[in-house]
Chain A
Amino acid sequence: LAKTTQPISMDSYEGQEVNITCSHNNIATNDYITWYQQFPSQGPRFIIQGYKTKVTNEVASLFIPADRKSSTLSLPRVSLSDTAVYYCLVRRGNQAGTALIFGKGTTLSVSS
């Protein structure tokens, strides 16, 4: 599976848009990009997943350029409750043996 690289930490203020970029240079044709969020003392929670271009849901947007070697998670107008660790994962699609490997993640701190 492709290795992912993302910033260790980011700081923001309430109301701002936050963009977290993840690099996955060795992504394969069958790979999907998945993002998780983890609050302290809780298990990770799925946020969004995409293959190419743009995906949007009620929580975030995911932008994937044509070469798919990177992706950007966009959180619109963050609040204090968005303070968490955000993980970018690359997974092989539609295979029974697909493991989901978490890296170190990006710790996002939102201040008032």
Chain B
Amino acid sequence: DAGVIQSPRHEVTEMGQEVTLRCKPISGHNSLFWYRQTMMRGLELLIYFNNNVPIDDSGMPEDRFSAKMPNASFSTLKIQPSEPRDSAVYFCASREGYTGELFFGEGSRLTVL
């Protein structure tokens, strides 16, 4: 299995632009998580889905952030408009069932100038 696949790996954009991060979970996994990591705040849970349904989005910073999971094999995290404080590494993770074992992607490093 190829593991969790995220794209792009790196993105540099200017303030105000729309950013879309993509994630393909491991086939057969029914839960998907989006995390954001910065030096200051550590690893923060933004939102997670179970069977394509958002379960908890309380970690989403504000209305500029939105996430979708249209099917079991694809999810997007969108930031519109982007701001410099959104600069971070965004990780997607998936798991099978309700275990404690998450499989993380390699992350998308976002820089907003």
Contacts and interface: CB of A to CB of B under 8 A. Distances in A.
A96 B98 contact: yes
Contacts of B98: 93-96, 98
Given A89-B100, A95-B98, A99-B56, A44 B43 contact: yes
For the side of the interface on B, what is the size category?
A: 20 to 34
B93 interface: yes
Interface residues of A, number: 27
A93 B100 CA distance: 8
Given A99-B48, A100-B45, A104-B42, A43 B107 contact: yes
Interface string A85-112: 0010101011111111111110000000
Nearest to B42: A104
Contacts of A101: 45
Contacts of B55: 96-97, 99
A108 to B, nearest CB: 16
Interface string B41-82: 011110010100001100000000000000000000000000
Interface of B: 4, 33, 35, 42-45, 48, 50, 55-56, 91, 93, 98-107
Interface of A: 32, 34, 36, 38, 41-46, 49, 87, 89, 91, 93-105
